[in-house]
Amino acid sequence: MFDILFKNACIVTMNDSEPVIESGYLGVTGKKISYIGKAAPNDKGKREIDCKGNILMPGLINAHTHTAMTLLRGVADDYTLNEWLFNHIFPIEAKLDSRATAIGFTLGVAEMLSYGVTSINDMYFFQNDIIRIAADIGIRGYFSNGIVALSPDYDFYKDRSIRETLEMLEYDLPDRVKPQLSIHSERTSEPYVWDMAVEFAQKHNITMHIHLSETLSDHTECIKKHGKTPAEVLSEHGVFSVPTVAAHCVHVSESDMDIMAKYNVTAVHNPVSNLKLASGIADVVAMQRHGVNVALGTDGVCSNNSHDLFEEIKLSALLAKNKHSDPSLFTAYDALKLATVNGAKSQGNYGVTGQLIEGYEADIIMLDTQKVQNQPVHNPISSLVYTVTGKDCVLTMVQGKILYENGEFMTIDIEKALREMKEYALPLIMG
């Protein structure tokens, strides 16, 4: 008997051999998908969910985000990146404590679960506390605090990022949440720091998360300083010898793309944030032609204002078409892969999540396509990319456990989190 049996579902599997199963069935037993197909299985479900023709698909993977920045939504809009970051964001973030960060993270995860996100790559502060909250909530993800080493007196092992990482490595955590190391960016540290970070990551067998060539000045200033691009100089210092997720990659060169492909570095496209900060448009098509795995992220809400990854999916398709003046070059299916299959690859979970296949872990979402604004559905993949939004998500499951359904959060006290935001977190950081 299945724990849960979905029936009468339009199943978008993201499996190239059978991308869509109309009027299908999907059974979940424990953490895994134990049946998927057009025919009704012999077994029943302890709970049976009639999908009524709605779409089931793999949960979305937000491969680059700063979740707790939910607290800063709308606090500093319409500035250039440097003015935004140094004059507005850093002064507010300096006031954050662990409790406020936890509140922001909880609200951010709630938003993402309600939008169909089942896994995240999160880079922010107090991650030694955040990772345990993630474990309790039930979301999947990797967690890091970016190394920023601008002081001449910098001490690697006194860095809060390293101390948090060492602490996380001692925790007894479920397999779906893992610590990660983060060099914030080439611009915010020095080569000797990267060398130490690589040695640390290799010693503890953890992956890397970094910002790469986000702005033109990031890219050109590095060339002036080192005589090489950020990708070139980081590669020379062995950073990419560790499995690496590189956020933005807006200004990487063709030779940078070759380096990234050689070392299996994942580029994370953040179209909304990059457009809002006028950082530029990453060339997803070119990167993929060079063999680079490209995933999708929202970045922080303060430079995006939403955790709706469906916005990013649609925009990624539109921008790629426009950049190359060819509407057929980057399809809806290509765009959907960024947030599913490619996201799973970015986390080392290809073959585990990102597709709906028997034996894979049951990270599944359901989208309501019966709403008038979503009808008719001639092509479910087209509808997911060009029509549906995160607000159409009605169910989010991670490892076979439903975390969100029809407006209800199963593992989050949302009223408490909102109350604590108003009574504690906002007065602390905005006062």
Q: Options 3.30.310.40, 3.40.50.1100, 3.20.20.140, 3.90.100.10; which CATH number does 60-346 get?
A: 3.20.20.140
Q: DSSP state, 324?
A: T
Q: If you average pLDDT over residues 269-287, what whole number do you get?
A: 96
pLDDT number for residue 124: 97
List the chain domain ranges. 2-58+358-409, 60-346
pLDDT number for residue 82: 80
Task: Give the DSSP H/E element, type plus range, for residue 21.
Answer: strand 20-29
Which residue, chain included where needed, has tokens 């204002």? Answer: 305
pLDDT number for residue 105: 98
pLDDT number for residue 151: 86
From residue 89, how far is each of 41, 105, 143, 421 by CA, in Å?
54, 17, 21, 18
Residue in 300, 388, 365 with CA at minimum distance from that of residue 118? 365
Which residue, chain included where needed, has tokens 């396509």? Answer: 369
Which residue, chain included where needed, has tokens 């950081």? Answer: 429
pLDDT number for residue 332: 98
Residue in 346, 341, 359 with CA at minimum distance from that of residue 15? 341
pLDDT band per the 50, 70, 90 thresholds, residue 328: very high
Q: Domain 2-58+358-409 adopts which CATH fold?
A: Urease, subunit C; domain 1 (2.30.40)
Q: What percent of the chain has pLDDT over 70?
A: 100
pLDDT band per the 50, 70, 90 thresholds, residue 366: very high
Q: If you average pLDDT over residues 58-82, what whole number do you get?
A: 94
Give the Cα separation of 51 and 365 in Å (integer).
11
Give the Cα separation of 28 and 26 in Å (integer).
7
For residue 242, list its beta bridge partners: none
pLDDT number for residue 79: 86
Q: If you average pLDDT over residues 363-383, what whole number do you get?
A: 97
Q: If you average pLDDT over residues 207-216, what whole number do you get?
A: 97
Is pLDDT of 85 > 90? Answer: no
Give the Cα separation of 375 and 373 in Å (integer).
6
pLDDT number for residue 374: 97
pLDDT band per the 50, 70, 90 thresholds, residue 161: very high
Neighbours of 393 (CB within 10 A): 26
Is pLDDT of 83 > 90? Answer: no
CB 296 within 8 A of CB 309: yes
- Give the chain's mean pLDDT: 97
pLDDT number for residue 422: 98
pLDDT number for residue 412: 98
Residue 47, amino acid: R
Give the Cα separation of 35 and 99 in Å (integer).
42
What's the pLDDT tens digit per position in 132-148? 999 999 999 999 999 99
Is pLDDT of 199 > 90? Answer: yes
